A and B are shown apart, each in its own frame.
Chain A
Amino acid sequence: MVFRILVVKKPEYSARHMQRWAATLGLADLEISRAYFFETDSELPAPKRAELSAALADPIIEEASERFHTPAAYECWIAYQRGIIDNECDSIVRMCTLLGIEGVKAAKVATVYRSGDPGLRSAIETHCFNPNIEEIHDAEPLYDSLQPLGQYIPMRCYDLRALSDAQLESLGQEGGRNLNLRMMRQIREIQQATSAPYVTDVLLEAMDARWSDHCYHTTWKALGHLLQKLAQASRDTANPNIVSMFEDNAGVWDFYDGLAVALKAETHNGPSAISAYFGQLTKLGGVLRDILGAGQGADPVGVFEYTATGVPGTPSPLRGRPSPKQIAQETIRAIREYGNTFGAPMMWSQMTFHPAYRAKPFALGGCIGVIPKNLAQKGAPQKDDLLLLLGGLTGNDGIHGASASSAGAQMDSAAVQIGSPLEEVKFRAAIMELRDAGCIRAITDVGGAGLNSAVGEMGDPCGVWLNTALVPLKTGGLPMWRILLSESQERMTLAIVPEKLALARAILSRHEVRHKVIGKFTGQGRYTVIHDPSFDEEKIVNTDASQLPRSGEVGIDVPFSLLKYEPEAILPPEAPRLPTRATCWPHWTPSQLQAIVPELLADAEIASQIYASMQYDSTVQGRLTYGPYFGDPYRARVPTSFWAAQLIPDKPYASLFAVSFNPWLFEANPRLAARQGFLACLNKLVLAGSKLRDICLCDNFYTPHLTHDWAYWLVAMVEEVAALVRTFGAPVISGKDSSAGSVETPEGIISVPPAVFFSALGKANDFNKLLTNPWRKAGNLLVLIGPGCASAAGTVAQRVLRLPGNDVDEIDVDSYREYLLALERLDRQGVASGMPVEAAGILGVAVRQALATGLGARLELEPRELLMEHRCGAILEVSPPALSALPKALQPRVIGEVEAGPASVRCGDVELLTPEAIRAWRDSFRRMLE
């Protein structure tokens, strides 16, 4: 039976932020309560029910009751849909057990909104409800059970030998699959090669996922094995810092004292377009697992997050999808909840508003982790190693997520994964113990394409046998292919050394991590998936790998050698014509510039994003760090140009991190924008104190697939990056390609610009000698260094003032190498600080510095020069005697002087940092999202 307890906030303790929020909805009398539903075997005795009520409510500020004490004309009840497990369920049931209340089988939480206003339903439906995963009711829902339903459905079999091409094609697309005719023909060849009477839906689904862009980089292969080009360029650098590259869940870079640092970034664009909350939640969860699954298990020590969506206030071009504003709001909530709960500090975060991302956002998350260098290579399972699944339950969520990565917007809500950070926190610490105890032979995360990808990759070429009937489920049952493909989150698969199984189980139990042996590595080179409930965990443990049965239903039993796929080559595209529109900067007077500064500073690329960044924990783990912000949080806090941390307590060694991305620049010229992005990352880290040879990068390509020139630009960008890698000796050690950035909408095809996001990792042997950003002292000179970028392309000024210009500056790589080497050798004596130039150009640097340090700046430049974004240059703060020591290769140019406070930015005699400008900088981002 199901019963319910309400928890209502006492009016005198109604939260201020909720009152403000209710006012913005126009529902001044809005009441928000929680309803807890419990399913028990029998009716709970009254005293137990009272005890449970007392536990659920904070006695000072809340009240638990059976019913509402005051009537309300309108109600809305929102809860997760029946098939979705409420993350709080486990904890609620656990609490009941601790309270001595036995027999609680399941729990569910609903949020109840009440008001006298007839607009309640509309307001809540618009702002608080996600129809893809939640249900909404105008009155209390009546549940007869809280337990998810579901059943096993026998596999379906197809004899492909008799099918025509048209029938093959149709079968390949059935049920949301994305198998094309070429792929289906290859599956038919598998059937013929194995002399099988049929193939199963399990094999079809497995190949659909295996050959997807997400798992197989199909588009990149078709364009001439682009990934291999990048990897070869990186190998050609022969950089001795490379520990592992493009062969594991993350790239690994050498650090100091026998440690290495793993780096990975990944996107979750499709799911985030459907449910930004769960899409972004699982984005971070997924990339954290990539780090946990690198080598024998790396420990995450920092995360970063970037999201580009449409302009807040504009609608989604697709009916039923969240608007850009909702995506932005849900992103902040998701990143906060996952990142903070997991306990990895935020290294950098940024949100961009650009119309090209209004149909499908750019949802990128990344992570770095520490691992002993001798454990940093990808593990290889051996015959008789046990296949252990640990972490969350497997459910009907995230189906076809991987193959949908190849399919633009054609995703359904089942493709959205449901995240639960608590599970991942638990197994994070456990994995480190398993690693150090020598239990792990190989490890990988269960992400895109679920167990099929994780187990399939681990088992190739050794061979693996898997019984899906043993996989712990969220539901009453699932078809075999869904168990195999589910992208339910917070799961890892491990190859456990057989003799260490007991120890591994003890460690996992102590950490309260759910785990189960679901298969074994066979040494037979075959991928075997069966569904046989009678062949249990202990039978697997006690059966020799060569004797494992093909019992129950056999979904797949194929040699790995038959699972290779070569996509049809896409012919090298011709260069598109790119009409050049020359930049034309207006000749403003300082007073004219003063008038437009507030509008410039309101642009989200330069405006304070503290409203979001303040919500992300940047200090957890207690390391000595520099960044991600500087300045007084109660006055003005601004982003640092790099993040650094002392990764080894009491040792001076620093790990450095920086990023670069500007979608407007990619709109103008993707190849040159890629060059600027790559060089900007190097510039940030060398300026901070890393040697050029100590820097590696991670690339995340996000490109359209329905524009006429997408293939050309993708190839051009990859070739550009490969050339830069060789020139600078800075390898790309990790990355990911998302090649489905076009969406068909009622207003036409909306495509993201062809683009690549760079994140970079460096190192330095003395944390205390890093060149940091904040201005130090009045009287110091401000010196611009590096190549100039005079083009208006991609600048804040261009989009705010609608300036012409797509003539992206072509930085000369040879002279830039000389610049970086000079910067690397620079005697830092007399250099007080350094700040790369980014959004809003020199003005942007000066404004952020002045607000954060309370000092002033007098700038001796033409007003238009202040807005040029010299992205590969920087502004040094230099004591006057040290000026002459700056080498010519830096191209130094004095542009002004630091002045005593209060905070000011003067151009000639005109103050640019007016109260209106400060308000615009401080408030515009928050206002866009409120």
Chain B
Amino acid sequence: MTPTVNVVYFPGTNCQRETLRAFERVGAKAHLIFASDLLQGRSRLDSADILCLPGGFSFGDHIMGGLVASVLLTHGLKDQLANCRQRLILGICNGFQIAIRAGLFGPHVTLTWNDCGTFQDIAEQPHVVARDHGTPWLRGLEGETLTFPCAHGEGKFIFTSRQGWRRVLSYPAGANPDGSMEDIAGIATADGQVFGLMNHPERALHRDANLQFFENGVNWVRS
């Protein structure tokens, strides 16, 4: 069985190619699906084993990062999104913003402008995997430090309650690029199936650990 992945392209998405490449490198069949096709019924959000919301600036980040795309998912494709929620979902950068605003991690979390007030470009950003992450995406990487690029402006993670989500990735002390609360760099839903992070493992596939991240998702489908 070849696991399938739907990578969604919204107007303004710009990381679709490296994301498709990442999943294909680990043996998945990755499809780019267009928001316009989804809304007109020419393709479906829930037609693959994994849903991936890639990085970029969907709808120009207008109003706030990820908002318009999240409304598209929650109002235009509500039932299909609910079906996807039963499988694996990955949100990277803008995709994480979309997932947060679509409520996939519950109502107690959000993302806002980095503390420094600007975009942060760091090619070699370290991230520490939680030992008790509970998500298939990070299986076998417990306690490891993964290095991949940080490239975002609206990535400061804020929460008001710990309900509905769990910390799975952290920034090491002194290397928090956005001011996220408790140095949180990535979160998963309580069941671990939805995973979101601001930074970009798909941009650093020359490092095996980053590739393993995608392989984990694909292997979970196979299992």
Which A residues are closer than 8 A to B by beta carbons? 13, 15-18, 20-21, 55-56, 58-61, 87-88, 91-92, 94-95, 98-100, 336, 340-343, 346, 420-422, 425-426, 429, 509-512, 613-622, 624, 629, 632-634, 649
Q: B119 contacts A617, CB within 8 Å? A: yes
Q: Return B209 CB to nearest CB of chain A, in Å.
A: 15
Which B residues are closer than 8 A to A by beta carbons? 9, 11-18, 21-22, 34-37, 55-57, 59-64, 67-68, 71-72, 75-76, 101, 107-110, 112-125, 149, 151, 153, 158, 160, 174-175, 179, 200, 202-206
Q: Return A628 CB to nearest CB of chain B, in Å.
A: 9
* Cα A517 to Cα B72 with chains together (Å): 30
Q: A91 contacts B151, CB within 8 Å? A: no
Query: Can you list 9 A-B contacts with CB-CB less than 8 angstroms, sorted by A residue number?
Result: A60-B110, A91-B62, A98-B75, A336-B118, A336-B119, A343-B14, A426-B11, A429-B16, A615-B119
Most buried by B among A16, A94, A426, A620: A620
Question: Which residues of the other chain, B, contact A649 by a CB distance below 8 angstroms?
Answer: 21
Closest to A36 in B: B63
Q: Return B50 CB to nearest CB of chain A, in Å.
A: 18
* Cα A621 to Cα B18 with chains together (Å): 6
Closest to A56 in B: B63
Q: Return A315 CB to nearest CB of chain B, in Å.
A: 26
* Cα A95 to Cα B70 with chains together (Å): 10
* Cα A55 to Cα B102 with chains together (Å): 11
Say whether, besides A343-B14, A422-B59, A95 and B112 are in contact (CB < 8 Å). Answer: no
Q: A341 contacts B57, CB within 8 Å? A: yes
Most buried by A among B72, B114, B118: B118
Say whether, besides A620-B14, A622-B204, A634 and B175 are in contact (CB < 8 Å). Answer: yes
Of B117, B200, B202, the contact of A15 (CB 8 Å cutoff):
B117
* Cα A616 to Cα B63 with chains together (Å): 21
Q: Return B196 CB to nearest CB of chain A, in Å.
A: 16
Of B11, B200, B206, the contact of A425 (CB 8 Å cutoff):
B11
Q: A100 contacts B60, CB within 8 Å? A: no
Q: B110 contacts A58, CB within 8 Å? A: yes
Q: A622 contacts B21, CB within 8 Å? A: yes
Q: A18 contacts B117, CB within 8 Å? A: yes
* Cα A426 to Cα B9 with chains together (Å): 10
Q: Return A48 CB to nearest CB of chain B, in Å.
A: 13
Q: B203 contacts A99, CB within 8 Å? A: no
Closest to B14 in A: A343
Q: Return B85 CB to nearest CB of chain A, in Å.
A: 19
Question: Which residues of the other chain, A, contact B22 by a CB distance below 8 angstroms?
Answer: 622
Q: B12 contacts A422, CB within 8 Å? A: yes
Q: B12 contacts A88, CB within 8 Å? A: no
Question: Which residues of the other chain, A, contact B61 by a CB distance below 8 angstroms?
Answer: 341
Question: Which residues of the other chain, A, contact B113 by a CB distance below 8 angstroms?
Answer: 15, 17
Question: Which residues of the other chain, B, contact A55 by a CB distance below 8 angstroms?
Answer: 67, 71
Q: A512 contacts B179, CB within 8 Å? A: no
Question: Which residues of the other chain, B, contact A619 by a CB distance below 8 angstroms?
Answer: 121, 123, 149, 151, 200, 203-204
Question: Which residues of the other chain, B, contact A98 by a CB distance below 8 angstroms?
Answer: 68, 71-72, 75-76
* Cα A121 to Cα B208 with chains together (Å): 55
Say whether, besides A425-B14, A633-B124, A17 and B115 are in contact (CB < 8 Å). Answer: yes
Q: A512 contacts B35, CB within 8 Å? A: yes
* Cα A649 to Cα B36 with chains together (Å): 29
Closest to A20 in B: B117
Question: Which residues of the other chain, B, contact A622 by a CB distance below 8 angstroms?
Answer: 15, 17-18, 21-22, 200, 202-205
Question: Which residues of the other chain, A, contact B203 by a CB distance below 8 angstroms?
Answer: 619-622
Say whether, besides A341-B60, A619-B121, A619-B151, A16 and B158 are in contact (CB < 8 Å). Answer: no
Question: Which residues of the other chain, A, contact B121 by a CB distance below 8 angstroms?
Answer: 346, 613-619
Say whether, besides A16-B115, A60-B158, A425 and B76 are in contact (CB < 8 Å). Answer: no
Q: B174 contacts A91, CB within 8 Å? A: no
Q: A58 contacts B119, CB within 8 Å? A: no
* Cα A611 to Cα B109 with chains together (Å): 29
Q: Return B180 CB to nearest CB of chain A, in Å.
A: 13
* Cα A88 to Cα B200 with chains together (Å): 26
* Cα A88 to Cα B12 with chains together (Å): 13
Q: A620 contacts B15, CB within 8 Å? A: yes
Closest to B175 in A: A634
Q: A13 contacts B158, CB within 8 Å? A: yes
Q: Return A160 CB to nearest CB of chain B, in Å.
A: 46
* Cα A618 to Cα B119 with chains together (Å): 11
Question: Which residues of the other chain, A, contact B117 by a CB distance below 8 angstroms?
Answer: 15-18, 20-21
* Cα A426 to Cα B11 with chains together (Å): 6
Most buried by A among B11, B13, B200: B11
Of B60, B64, B118, the contact of A422 (CB 8 Å cutoff):
B60
Question: Which residues of the other chain, B, contact A618 by a CB distance below 8 angstroms?
Answer: 121, 123, 151
Q: A422 contacts B151, CB within 8 Å? A: no
Question: Which residues of the other chain, A, contact B18 by a CB distance below 8 angstroms?
Answer: 621-622
* Cα A341 to Cα B13 with chains together (Å): 9
Q: B158 contacts A91, CB within 8 Å? A: no
Q: Return B181 CB to nearest CB of chain A, in Å.
A: 11
Question: Which residues of the other chain, A, contact B101 by a CB distance below 8 angstroms?
Answer: 58
**What 5 A-B pairs have minimum CB-CB distances, sorted nearest first?**
A17-B117, A343-B14, A622-B18, A422-B60, A91-B62
Q: A512 contacts B11, CB within 8 Å? A: yes
* Cα A632 to Cα B175 with chains together (Å): 11
* Cα A737 to Cα B82 with chains together (Å): 57
Q: B56 contacts A343, CB within 8 Å? A: yes
Closest to B73 in A: A98
Q: B59 contacts A91, CB within 8 Å? A: yes
Question: Which residues of the other chain, A, contact B114 by a CB distance below 8 angstroms?
Answer: 17
* Cα A100 to Cα B113 with chains together (Å): 29
Q: Return B99 CB to nearest CB of chain A, in Å.
A: 14
Closest to B56 in A: A343
Closest to B107 in A: A59
Seed contacts A18-B117, A20-B117, A421-B57; 18 additional CB < 8 Å A-B pairs = A15-B112, A16-B115, A17-B115, A17-B117, A59-B107, A60-B160, A88-B62, A91-B68, A99-B75, A343-B56, A426-B11, A510-B36, A512-B11, A619-B123, A619-B151, A619-B204, A620-B15, A624-B206
Of B16, B151, B160, the contact of A617 (CB 8 Å cutoff):
B151
Question: Which residues of the other chain, A, contact B118 by a CB distance below 8 angstroms?
Answer: 17, 336, 614-615
* Cα A61 to Cα B60 with chains together (Å): 21
